[in-house]
Amino acid sequence: MDPLLPDVAHEFRRHKSLADRALADLSDEQFFRRPGEPVNPVALIVKHLAGNLVSRWGNLLNGDGESPLRDRDREFRLEAADTRPELMAAWERGWQALFDALAGLETVDLAQSIEIRGEPHTLRQALLRGATHAAYHTGQILYLARWLKPEREWLTIAPGHSGLQPGTYRRPT
C-alpha cells in the first residue's frame, strides 16, 4: 500500500487539531476581530477553508473541484448569518467532506486524473495541493491566535524550548 493516503490523512488531522485548539481559545470578539483593513479575521479564514474543503472534496472523483454551488468571493465577506456557531458548523462539514473522501480512496486512485478549476491534476497532486492549502490557512489561524492572545499556551514548540521532550511545550516564562 502506498503510504501517501494514511500520511496525508494524518497531516490533515494534525492541522485540523491545531486549528481547533487555537479556535477554542479565542473569544467571539477575537474570532471576528479584523487585525487591519486588508487582513482577514479568523472567522473569514474559517469560512473560506470550510467552503474550499466542501467544494474540493465533496465530489472529488466526479467534479471539477470547484462546486457550482460555491461562491468563493462570498467566503471573504462577513454577513449577518455568519455567527460563530454557523461558521464552526460549516468548518466541521468541510473537514468531514475531506475525511469522507479520503476514507473512500485506494492506492489505485492516486494516478487518476481530476480537475481543479479546469486544471488537470493527478489525485496525488490534488492531495498535496489540498494539504498545502489547509496548512497555509492553519498557519494563519495559529498566527492570528498568537497575535490576539499572546499569553496563550503554545500549540507547537515554544521559542527556547526545542530541547524539551514532546508533550512538554509550554509558554516561555
Summarize pLDDT for 77-126 with one digit per residue, the tens: 999 999 999 999 999 999 999 999 999 999 999 999 988 888 899 999 99
- The C-alpha atoms of residue 129 and residue 132 are separated, in whole angstroms, by 5
- Ranges of residues in the chain whose predicted pLDDT is under 70: 1, 164-173
pLDDT value for 166: 61
11 SS3 class? helix
Q: What is the pLDDT, as a whole number, of residue 164?
A: 65
Q: Does domain 4-148 have CATH number 1.10.3430.10?
A: no
List phi, psi (to 5°) of 51: -65, -40
Output the pLDDT for position 167.
57
Residue 173: per-residue pLDDT: 44
The cell 490576539 sits on which residue?
Answer: 148
DSSP H or E segment with residue 50: helix 42-57
pLDDT of residue 157: 81
What ranges do the domains of the chain cover?
Answer: 4-148
